[in-house]
A and B are shown apart, each in its own frame.
Chain A
């Protein structure tokens, strides 16, 4: 148990579907992150939220849309994804953006 919970654990969707990934942290942290982990590629930081404001967006395609309604919850809304978007999507949180991050177990996403 890491204190960071991601749902669903697995998601299979077609290219025209719309779905959302959910992340919840129970650690009282101020910063939350979305990462993409693909086989044979470095961990890619997608979005950073600090105190519910987006502070970083690393040139992520607009088909990924983050939402941070409060400091405990983070969503990643998905629409019209491509096969190359199949990956493990990890959520993390930390007290502040330069502090150690606590990771969830990830959502394994497969695009058909």
Chain B
């Protein structure tokens, strides 16, 4: 069965620290990959997506993610986080089905 895992349940960083959130999936076919973000009290919104082409994709607010097919991974990165990045981040994979990961809560300390 298709599944998505995220490495960390809760990440706590200080402002200006670098961020990397892990995401791995299990599915052998072609996939579309997504990262969504949910800020406190707000709806889920798309951060970035990968369909094909350059495996390094750039999204909004300085986020980027790299698709490594051989590792079935799609990790999210940001060089320098801000307090306003405090949110929950969800990786999602569209293969046979559309599946969300369990989410990683990011807390950025001012």
Contacts and interface: CB of A to CB of B under 8 A. Distances in A.
A15 interface: no
Contacts of B102: 41-42
Task: Sort chain B's interface into a size bin.
Answer: 20 to 34
Among B92, B94, B99, chain A packs the most CB atoms within 10 A around the CB of: B94
Interface in A91-112: 92, 97-106
Contact of A106 (B36, B43, B45, B103): B43
Contacts of A56: 97
Contacts of A43: 90, 100, 103
Contacts of A98: 32, 94-95, 98
7 contacts: A42-B102, A43-B103, A45-B99, A98-B98, A101-B44, A104-B43, A105-B43
Interface of B: 32, 34, 36, 42-46, 49, 90, 92, 94-95, 97-103
Instruction: Identify the 3 closest CB pairs spanning chains A and B, nearest first.
Output: A42-B102, A98-B94, A103-B44
Interface of A: 2, 33, 41-43, 45, 48, 56, 90, 92, 97-106
